[in-house]
Amino acid sequence: MRDFARHRRHGGFTLIEALVAGIILAMAVAVIGTTLSHAYASLTDAKEEGHAAILMDDLLTKIDLIGPARIASEGPRQGRFDGEEERFSWSAEISNRPQGHLYEVTATVFWDYAGKTKSIRVQTYLNDSPNSRDSTLKWKDL
């Protein structure tokens, strides 16, 4: 009988041990799933912001090519991007600084994501001396 008792003590897991192991495993899977979900959402947010940053660079390049003085007087000061970027819109505020031909440019790119409006904003200064830009450039052509 001693052999039977000893064998029983060293046999498999008890029901309680199996249940505890199952609960620990379920909690670990839930934590990993939540972490992966948050990581995927953060990756998507970063991707959207990166795309908006590229569009912001294009916008500021256009403003610089045409010249902030001309944009301030003729426009456009807001709009939508074309093609696949149509869900992104933009606005620009341009003001002349007292220091000569220096212009303060504040540009914002907006987009809808997950039911919320997101945006990035950049503020910079551009020098726009008279006759320093090609006056034949048109916004729509760039």
pLDDT in tens, 78-109: 999 988 888 999 999 999 887 788 999 999 99
What letter does residue 142 receive in the DSSP assignment?
-
List the Cα angle 86/88/92 in 5-degree steps.
Answer: 120
As a whole number of angstroms, the distance between CA 67 and CA 7 comes to 89
As a whole number of angstroms, the distance between CA 78 and CA 107 comes to 9
Between 36-45, 58-67, 81-90, 119-128, the lowest mean confidence (pLDDT) is in 36-45
> Over 60: is that where the pLDDT of 12 sits?
yes
As a whole number of angstroms, the distance between CA 54 and CA 72 comes to 23
Residue 65's CB is within 10 A of a number of other CB atoms, namely 13
Closest by Cα among 70, 117, 116, 118 to 92: 70
What pLDDT shows up at residue 8?
53
